[in-house]
Protein backbone atom coordinates (compact mmCIF):
# COMPACT_ATOMS: atom_id res chain seq x y z
CA UNK A 1 0.00 0.00 0.00
CA UNK A 2 1.30 3.46 -0.88
CA UNK A 3 2.22 5.86 1.88
CA UNK A 4 -0.29 8.63 2.60
CA UNK A 5 0.88 12.06 1.41
CA UNK A 6 1.10 14.68 4.14
CA UNK A 7 1.42 18.35 3.20
CA UNK A 8 3.87 20.17 5.50
CA UNK A 9 3.86 23.95 5.78
CA UNK A 10 7.14 25.59 6.70
CA UNK A 11 8.72 28.98 7.21
CA UNK A 12 10.40 30.67 4.25
CA UNK A 13 13.38 31.34 6.53
CA UNK A 14 13.82 28.01 8.31
CA UNK A 15 11.85 25.44 6.31
CA UNK A 16 14.96 24.10 4.59
CA UNK A 17 16.28 22.72 7.89
CA UNK A 18 12.94 21.82 9.54
CA UNK A 19 11.24 19.89 6.75
CA UNK A 20 13.81 17.05 6.59
CA UNK A 21 13.21 16.25 10.28
CA UNK A 22 9.43 16.26 9.84
CA UNK A 23 9.67 14.16 6.69
CA UNK A 24 11.94 11.68 8.47
CA UNK A 25 9.43 11.37 11.31
CA UNK A 26 6.64 10.77 8.80
CA UNK A 27 8.69 8.21 6.87
CA UNK A 28 9.53 6.30 10.05
CA UNK A 29 5.81 6.04 10.82
CA UNK A 30 4.56 5.12 7.35
CA UNK A 31 3.88 8.49 5.71
CA UNK A 32 5.47 10.78 3.16
CA UNK A 33 5.85 14.55 3.48
CA UNK A 34 5.26 17.12 0.73
CA UNK A 35 6.75 20.53 1.50
CA UNK A 36 4.26 23.38 1.25
CA UNK A 37 4.41 27.07 1.92
CA UNK A 38 4.18 30.55 0.46
CA UNK A 39 5.10 30.22 -3.22
CA UNK A 40 5.09 26.40 -2.99
CA UNK A 41 1.44 25.33 -2.92
CA UNK A 42 -0.12 21.88 -3.21
CA UNK A 43 -3.84 21.25 -3.76
CA UNK A 44 -5.56 19.81 -0.68
CA UNK A 45 -7.27 17.35 -3.01
CA UNK A 46 -3.87 15.78 -3.65
CA UNK A 47 -2.94 15.08 -0.01
CA UNK A 48 -4.28 12.93 2.81
CA UNK A 49 -3.16 14.96 5.82
CA UNK A 50 -1.68 18.28 6.87
CA UNK A 51 1.09 19.37 9.22
CA UNK A 52 1.29 23.06 10.06
CA UNK A 53 4.90 23.53 11.07
CA UNK A 54 6.72 25.89 13.42
CA UNK A 55 8.65 29.08 12.87
CA UNK A 56 7.36 32.63 12.67
CA UNK A 57 5.03 34.24 15.20
CA UNK A 58 1.37 34.65 14.23
CA UNK A 59 0.17 38.18 13.53
CA UNK A 60 -2.23 39.42 16.24
CA UNK A 61 -4.65 40.83 13.65
CA UNK A 62 -5.93 37.26 13.18
CA UNK A 63 -7.29 37.15 16.71
CA UNK A 64 -7.74 40.79 17.72
CA UNK A 65 -4.51 41.11 19.69
CA UNK A 66 -1.88 43.86 19.75
CA UNK A 67 1.55 43.64 18.17
CA UNK A 68 4.34 42.66 20.57
CA UNK A 69 7.80 44.19 20.33
CA UNK A 70 9.54 40.84 19.84
CA UNK A 71 7.16 39.40 17.22
CA UNK A 72 8.65 38.10 13.96
CA UNK A 73 5.84 37.96 11.43
CA UNK A 74 5.05 36.59 7.98
CA UNK A 75 1.56 37.85 6.98
CA UNK A 76 1.49 35.80 3.77
CA UNK A 77 2.15 32.62 5.71
CA UNK A 78 -0.47 33.59 8.29
CA UNK A 79 -3.13 33.97 5.60
CA UNK A 80 -2.15 30.72 3.85
CA UNK A 81 -2.10 28.56 6.97
CA UNK A 82 -5.26 30.01 8.50
CA UNK A 83 -7.16 29.25 5.29
CA UNK A 84 -5.56 25.79 5.07
CA UNK A 85 -6.48 24.88 8.64
CA UNK A 86 -10.11 25.86 8.09
CA UNK A 87 -10.33 24.11 4.72
CA UNK A 88 -8.70 20.91 6.00
CA UNK A 89 -11.08 20.65 8.95
CA UNK A 90 -14.07 21.37 6.67
CA UNK A 91 -12.96 18.48 4.44
CA UNK A 92 -12.24 16.14 7.37
CA UNK A 93 -8.53 16.08 6.53
CA UNK A 94 -6.48 15.22 9.66
CA UNK A 95 -4.18 17.96 10.96
CA UNK A 96 -1.14 18.04 13.25
CA UNK A 97 0.03 21.45 14.42
CA UNK A 98 3.62 21.85 15.63
CA UNK A 99 4.49 24.85 17.85
CA UNK A 100 3.25 27.76 15.68
CA UNK A 101 1.00 25.18 14.02
CA UNK A 102 -0.74 24.42 17.31
CA UNK A 103 -1.30 28.13 17.80
CA UNK A 104 -2.63 28.48 14.23
CA UNK A 105 -5.11 25.66 14.79
CA UNK A 106 -6.41 27.51 17.81
CA UNK A 107 -6.60 30.87 16.03
CA UNK A 108 -8.28 29.39 12.93
CA UNK A 109 -11.05 28.13 15.19
CA UNK A 110 -11.58 31.49 16.85
CA UNK A 111 -9.13 31.27 19.75
CA UNK A 112 -6.43 33.71 20.86
CA UNK A 113 -2.77 33.71 21.87
CA UNK A 114 -0.67 35.14 24.68
CA UNK A 115 2.06 36.99 22.80
CA UNK A 116 4.19 37.49 25.88
CA UNK A 117 3.83 34.01 27.34
CA UNK A 118 7.11 34.09 29.26
CA UNK A 119 6.17 37.37 30.91
CA UNK A 120 2.86 35.84 31.95
CA UNK A 121 4.32 32.58 33.22
CA UNK A 122 7.66 33.87 34.47
CA UNK A 123 10.81 34.74 32.45
CA UNK A 124 12.86 32.61 34.83
CA UNK A 125 11.06 29.52 33.51
CA UNK A 126 11.88 30.14 29.85
CA UNK A 127 13.73 27.32 28.12
CA UNK A 128 14.98 27.58 24.54
CA UNK A 129 16.40 24.28 23.36
CA UNK A 130 15.62 21.39 21.02
CA UNK A 131 16.54 19.01 23.86
CA UNK A 132 13.76 17.53 26.04
CA UNK A 133 14.18 19.79 29.09
CA UNK A 134 10.57 20.85 29.83
CA UNK A 135 8.17 18.55 31.68
CA UNK A 136 4.52 18.52 30.69
CA UNK A 137 1.51 16.85 32.27
CA UNK A 138 -0.87 15.05 29.91
CA UNK A 139 -4.58 15.44 30.65
CA UNK A 140 -6.37 12.10 31.18
CA UNK A 141 -9.11 10.92 28.82
CA UNK A 142 -7.77 12.93 25.88
CA UNK A 143 -6.65 11.87 22.41
CA UNK A 144 -3.09 12.77 23.39
CA UNK A 145 -3.25 10.43 26.39
CA UNK A 146 -4.41 7.61 24.13
CA UNK A 147 -1.60 8.32 21.67
CA UNK A 148 1.33 8.70 24.05
CA UNK A 149 0.10 7.68 27.49
CA UNK A 150 -0.79 9.70 30.59
CA UNK A 151 2.63 9.78 32.25
CA UNK A 152 4.47 13.13 32.43
CA UNK A 153 6.46 13.78 29.27
CA UNK A 154 9.76 15.55 28.65
CA UNK A 155 9.65 17.86 25.62
CA UNK A 156 11.66 20.69 24.09
CA UNK A 157 10.72 24.38 23.90
CA UNK A 158 11.44 27.00 21.26
CA UNK A 159 8.32 29.15 21.42
CA UNK A 160 7.61 32.69 22.65
CA UNK A 161 3.81 32.68 22.28
CA UNK A 162 1.23 30.27 23.74
CA UNK A 163 -2.45 29.43 23.50
CA UNK A 164 -4.68 31.73 25.57
CA UNK A 165 -8.43 31.46 24.94
CA UNK A 166 -9.38 28.18 23.29
CA UNK A 167 -10.92 28.04 19.82
CA UNK A 168 -14.32 26.50 19.14
CA UNK A 169 -14.38 22.76 19.75
CA UNK A 170 -10.84 22.66 21.19
CA UNK A 171 -9.69 21.44 24.60
CA UNK A 172 -6.40 21.42 26.46
CA UNK A 173 -4.65 18.05 26.40
CA UNK A 174 -1.37 19.00 28.16
CA UNK A 175 0.14 21.78 30.28
CA UNK A 176 3.63 22.28 31.61
CA UNK A 177 4.34 22.35 35.34
CA UNK A 178 3.76 26.12 35.41
CA UNK A 179 0.30 25.85 33.86
CA UNK A 180 1.10 27.00 30.33
CA UNK A 181 -0.87 25.18 27.63
CA UNK A 182 1.40 22.75 25.79
CA UNK A 183 -1.07 20.74 23.70
CA UNK A 184 -4.59 21.19 22.38
CA UNK A 185 -6.92 18.94 20.42
CA UNK A 186 -10.25 18.99 18.66
CA UNK A 187 -12.95 17.24 20.64
CA UNK A 188 -14.67 15.79 17.56
CA UNK A 189 -13.52 14.47 14.18
CA UNK A 190 -11.52 15.08 12.10
CA UNK A 191 -8.23 14.37 13.89
CA UNK A 192 -6.73 17.71 14.88
CA UNK A 193 -3.95 17.87 17.46
CA UNK A 194 -1.59 20.72 18.24
CA UNK A 195 1.59 20.41 20.31
CA UNK A 196 3.59 23.40 21.50
CA UNK A 197 6.89 21.53 21.27
CA UNK A 198 8.84 20.15 18.27
CA UNK A 199 8.45 16.34 18.15
CA UNK A 200 10.34 16.19 14.84
CA UNK A 201 13.58 16.86 16.75
CA UNK A 202 12.75 14.05 19.19
CA UNK A 203 12.13 11.34 16.57
CA UNK A 204 14.24 8.91 18.59
CA UNK A 205 11.61 8.91 21.39
CA UNK A 206 8.73 6.45 20.86
CA UNK A 207 6.13 8.78 22.44
CA UNK A 208 7.08 11.51 19.96
CA UNK A 209 6.99 9.17 16.97
CA UNK A 210 3.55 8.13 18.18
CA UNK A 211 2.25 11.62 17.34
CA UNK A 212 3.28 11.21 13.71
CA UNK A 213 2.00 7.64 13.66
CA UNK A 214 -1.42 8.83 14.84
CA UNK A 215 -1.53 11.42 12.06
CA UNK A 216 -0.45 8.88 9.44
CA UNK A 217 -3.12 6.42 10.62
CA UNK A 218 -5.78 9.13 10.46
CA UNK A 219 -4.55 10.19 7.01
CA UNK A 220 -4.68 6.60 5.76
CA UNK A 221 -8.25 6.22 7.00
CA UNK A 222 -9.21 9.53 5.38
CA UNK A 223 -7.63 8.51 2.05
CA UNK A 224 -9.33 5.10 2.03
CA UNK A 225 -12.71 6.63 2.81
CA UNK A 226 -12.29 9.32 0.15
CA UNK A 227 -11.18 6.82 -2.50
CA UNK A 228 -14.09 4.52 -1.66
CA UNK A 229 -16.54 7.40 -2.01
CA UNK A 230 -15.04 8.42 -5.36
CA UNK A 231 -15.23 4.82 -6.61
CA UNK A 232 -18.88 4.53 -5.59
CA UNK A 233 -19.70 7.76 -7.42
CA UNK A 234 -17.90 6.51 -10.52
CA UNK A 235 -19.86 3.23 -10.43
CA UNK A 236 -23.11 5.14 -10.11
CA UNK A 237 -22.49 7.16 -13.30
Residues designated as active site: 99, 198, 200
Task: Give the residues across from 32 on adjacent strands.
Answer: 5
Element (H, E) at 50: strand 49-52
Of the candidates 102, 107, 185, 95, the residue with the CA atom closest to the CA atom of residue 148: 185
Q: Residue 124 burial by CB count (10 A; 0-12/13-18/19+): exposed, middle or buried?
A: exposed
Question: Please, where are the H alpha helices in 29-130?
Answer: 75-90, 100-108, 117-121
Nearest-angstrom CA–CA distance, 191 and 49: 10
Q: From start to end of 86-180, where are the E strands?
A: 95-98, 113-114, 129-138, 153-157, 162-163, 170-176
Amino acid sequence: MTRPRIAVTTSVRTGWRVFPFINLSLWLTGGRGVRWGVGRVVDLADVDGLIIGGGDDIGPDLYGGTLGLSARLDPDRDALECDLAKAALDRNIPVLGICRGAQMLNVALGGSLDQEAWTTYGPDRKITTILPKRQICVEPDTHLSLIGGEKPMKVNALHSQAVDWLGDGMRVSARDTGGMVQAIERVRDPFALGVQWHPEYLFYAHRQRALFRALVSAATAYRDSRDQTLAMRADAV
